[in-house]
């Protein structure tokens, strides 16, 4: 289904800017249920109760119809205007939202069938300049969506799907640093678990390393690469990307985490003055996060500065529950990682197809 017109002696497919419709030999075909919902979706008016009743058979019949009409066009003559594929993109996103609703309810079999339908519809987008970016964003968005689901008590099912979508994205877009970062992030999460797969940390490091070569000044990539190198025990290598974050105009939470990692490595190697300097800088970056004060107090105590250590630890203990919540939220934001990019990415994709 594509915007624009394709005129032939055999048949025509017209999906106009106003509505997504089929025309064959100048005659409008009856509106299918999927087309009705696509048109409502593009007006932001498709009710969820209607969407969840859309069957996979509807999507399959729709895809067959698109291919059949295109075959008719190919067999005829002669004039063909360049199509606009917003209707197909909308149909794919419609199926995606249905799938996400089922996934959020742990109805995995239904979710998987609608994700597959969305992916197959995306292949019908004719113009490569629209199809390839759309499929890139779709794979990234679905991977990030499942990464987020990990943190609502469906970790195993969500991880398997996030890894599958992001692995496919890496295969198709091997030189895209955001895709590499996203794929590495889900593997880092898995490899960091007490019961996780240690090999995933090494795979994450390889993906981050590739992303860093492509985007050497991206603070998110540098931070993740430094942290995973530290987790792998390669602390000499970890210091370089973390120090580079400090040289950039990075977000305060990036600076905080870089300082904390550098401080921890310095403390483990007995460089207490360096550790204290990093922890102090972290506390100054985000004064409401408690962890830096606890680490600073520990390092001060180890250095013999007991009075100052007591003062810092008293401050940490005096922090209220709001500060504790901010600290917890701040650290979880790293665990969620790049998954926090899902909502703005998917909203942009939706905005591109809305009327």
Q: pLDDT (tens digit, 9 = 90+) per residue, 337-348? A: 788 899 999 999
Alpha-carbon distance of 56 to 74, in angstroms, equals 27
Exposure string (b/e) for 55-68, b if CB count within 10 Å is 16 or more?
eeebbeebbebbee
What is the number of other CB atoms lying within 10 angstroms of the CB of residue 278?
A: 27
Alpha-carbon distance of 57 to 71, in angstroms, equals 21
Domain 128-248+338-355, CATH: 1.25.40.10
Predicted TM-score (pTM) of the model is 0.87
**Nearest of 33, 44, 352, 27 to residue 14 by alpha carbon:** 27
Angle between helices 108-122 and 128-149 (to 10 degrees): 160
Task: Classify burial at 79, counting beta carbons within 10 Å of its beta carbon; exposed 0-12, middle 13-18, buried 19 or more.
Answer: exposed
**Nearest of 34, 206, 230 to residue 118 by alpha carbon:** 34
- Domain ranges in the chain with CATH number 1.25.40.10: 128-248+338-355, 251-319
pLDDT band at 196 (very low <50, low <70, confident <90, very high): confident
15, pLDDT greater than 70: no
What is the number of other CB atoms lying within 10 angstroms of the CB of residue 73?
A: 19
3-state SS assignment for residue 15: strand
Least confident of 150-164, 175-189, 232-246: 150-164
**What CATH architecture is 251-319?**
Alpha Horseshoe (1.25)
17, pLDDT greater than 90: no
**Nearest of 178, 190, 187 to residue 206 by alpha carbon:** 187
**Nearest of 153, 203, 159, 198 to residue 180 by alpha carbon:** 203
Tokens of 253: 């939470």
Mean pLDDT over 111-140 rounds to 93
**Region of residue 337 (phi > 0: left; psi between -120 and 50: alpha; otherwise: beta):** left
163 phi/psi in degrees, rounded to 5: -65, -40
Q: Is 187 within 8 Å of 179 (Cβ atoms)? A: no
If one compares 353 and 133, the residue with the highest pLDDT of the two is: 133
pLDDT of residue 79: 40
Least confident of 13-27, 57-71, 203-217: 13-27
pLDDT in tens, 129-138: 899 999 999 9
Q: Is 205 within 8 Å of 225 (Cβ atoms)? A: yes
Mean pLDDT over 178-204 rounds to 92
If one compares 23 and 190, the residue with the highest pLDDT of the two is: 190
Alpha-carbon distance of 345 to 217, in angstroms, equals 22
What does each C-alpha distance from 242 to 224, 246, 249 come to in angstroms?
9, 7, 13
Cα 333–Cα 336–Cα 342 angle in degrees, nearest 5: 110
The one-character DSSP state at 78 is S
Q: Is 271 within 8 Å of 261 (Cβ atoms)? A: no
């Amino acid at each position: 289904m594509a915007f624009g017109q394709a005129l032939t002696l055999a048949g025509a497919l017209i999906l106009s800017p106003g509505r997504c419709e089929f025309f064959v030999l100048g005659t409008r075909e009856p509106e299918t249920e999927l087309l009705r919902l696509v048109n409502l979706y593009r007006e932001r008016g498709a009710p969820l109760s209607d969407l969840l009743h859309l069957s996979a058979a509807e999507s399959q019949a729709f895809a067959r119809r698109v291919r059949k009409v295109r075959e008719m066009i190919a067999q005829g003559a002669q004039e063909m205007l360049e199509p606009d594929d917003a209707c197909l993109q909308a149909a794919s996103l419609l199926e995606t939202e249905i799938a996400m609703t089922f996934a959020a309810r742990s109805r995995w079999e239904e979710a998987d069938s609608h994700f597959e339908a969305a992916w197959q519809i995306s292949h019908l987008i004719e113009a490569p300049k629209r199809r390839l970016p759309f499929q890139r964003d779709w794979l990234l968005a679905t991977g990030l969506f499942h990464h987020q689901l990990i943190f609502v008590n469906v970790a195993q099912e969500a991880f398997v799907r996030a890894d599958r979508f992001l692995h496919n994205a890496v295969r198709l877009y091997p030189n895209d640093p955001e895709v590499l970062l996203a794929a590495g992030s889900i593997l880092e999460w898995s490899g960091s678990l007490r019961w996780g797969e240690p090999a995933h940390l090494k795979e994450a490091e390889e993906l981050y390393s590739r992303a860093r070569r492509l985007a050497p000044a991206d603070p998110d990539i540098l931070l993740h690469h430094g942290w995973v190198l530290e987790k792998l025990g390669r602390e000499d290598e970890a210091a370089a990307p973390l120090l580079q974050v400090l040289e950039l105009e990075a977000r305060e939470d990036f600076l905080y985490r870089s300082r904390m990692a550098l401080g921890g490595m310095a403390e483990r190697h007995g460089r207490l003055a360096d550790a204290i300097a990093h922890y102090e800088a972290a506390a100054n970056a985000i004064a409401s996060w408690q962890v830096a004060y606890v680490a600073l107090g520990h390092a001060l105590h180890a250095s013999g500065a007991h009075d100052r250590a007591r003062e810092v630890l008293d401050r940490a203990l005096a922090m209220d529950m709001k500060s504790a919540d901010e600290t917890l939220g701040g650290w979880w934001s790293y665990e969620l990682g790049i998954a926090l990019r899902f909502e703005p990415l998917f909203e942009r994709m939706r905005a591109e197809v809305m009327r």
